[in-house]
Amino acid sequence: MEEHMERFIHYMESERNVSYNTKISYERDLKKTFSYFEQSGISRIEEITGTDLNSYILALETKGFSTATISRNIASLKKFFDYMVKQRKIKEDPTKILKAPKVERKAPNILSQEEVELLLQRPKIDTAKSLRDKAMVELLYETGMRSSEMISLKVSNLNLELGYIICENERQERVIPFGKRVKEAVNLYLERGRSSLLKEENDILFVNRNGNQMTRQGFWKIMKQYAKQMGIQREITPYMVRHSFAIHFLQKGGDLQKMKERLGHSDSYITEQYIKSFMYGKF
């Protein structure tokens, strides 16, 4: 079973371009499933039936796993067995009888457009650090990029004249446009802030006070600091800003395909979750 799982994981990485976190989730869920079956005397994929899978899900429920965790496990199993059928390793998909438990939906934790505006205005732009922070927050909200992508940006990725930035990660490269407001904030940072933070010349766009690439934790602390200044008790994270971008983009009548491209979603399923959040949430 381990060999089949490894081939499945490789397929999802190379052919479906799933993210690292998604890959880890698949691997963790499948290892847990196979361990359960091996302890039950089932050592081959072909031996697993729908009844066996139902028993496994019941075992998870008995152990007190959350409905969200169980739903994710079922989703992982469905992906795996669908792959096995397509590879002709098994004739029928035993997960067809599985139904995910109903998960209580909660409105997504996002910032209102008023809160976003307060956040964007919070950096006072009177120091090199605040100029950098202003540029980062403006760019983050308008592009919806991940914090890991933000801190990895290079000056050479930027085209201020045409108003776009090239966002690179291990899976893909995408071009994300931005408007006048971001252009002004980034340009001001480059002209008056970045050189003061640099210790030696490099191509990193957003540098810390030591002139090196920022960490995700460092960026998170910046967001936390501004949230505190705004008087917001709940935690504000870069991911929340990314999520806010997506919901606000839809609220303004944005095109779903364009949103998918901007966010860098390789799987339409993830984008669909934003749609469900948008339809469910009361913003």
pLDDT digits (tens, 9 = 90+) for 135-158: 999 999 999 888 889 999 999 999
3-class DSSP string for 110-176? CCCHHHHHHHHHCCCCCCHHHHHHHHHHHHHHHHCCCHHHHHCCEHHHEECCCCEEEEECCCCEEEE
Instruction: Please name each of the domains of the chain with its CATH number.
Output: 2-97 (1.10.150.130), 113-280 (1.10.443.10)
Local confidence band at 282 (pLDDT 50, 70, 90 cut-offs): very low
Residue 242, pLDDT above cutoff 90: no
Residue 103, pLDDT above cutoff 70: no
* Inter-helix orientation angle 216-230/113-121, to 10°: 100
* Cα 268 to Cα 262: distance, rounded to the nearest angstrom: 13
Q: Which of 131, 72, 196 is nearest to 139 (CA)?
A: 131
Average pLDDT over residues 201-215: 93
Instruction: Provide the pLDDT for residue 113.
Output: 84
Q: Which of 191, 134, 185 is nearest to 163 (CA)?
A: 185
Instruction: Provide the pLDDT for residue 93.
Output: 93
**Beta pairing, strands 173-177 & 164-168:** antiparallel
* Cα 194 to Cα 188: distance, rounded to the nearest angstrom: 9
pLDDT digits (tens, 9 = 90+) for 171-197: 678 899 999 999 999 999 999 999 999
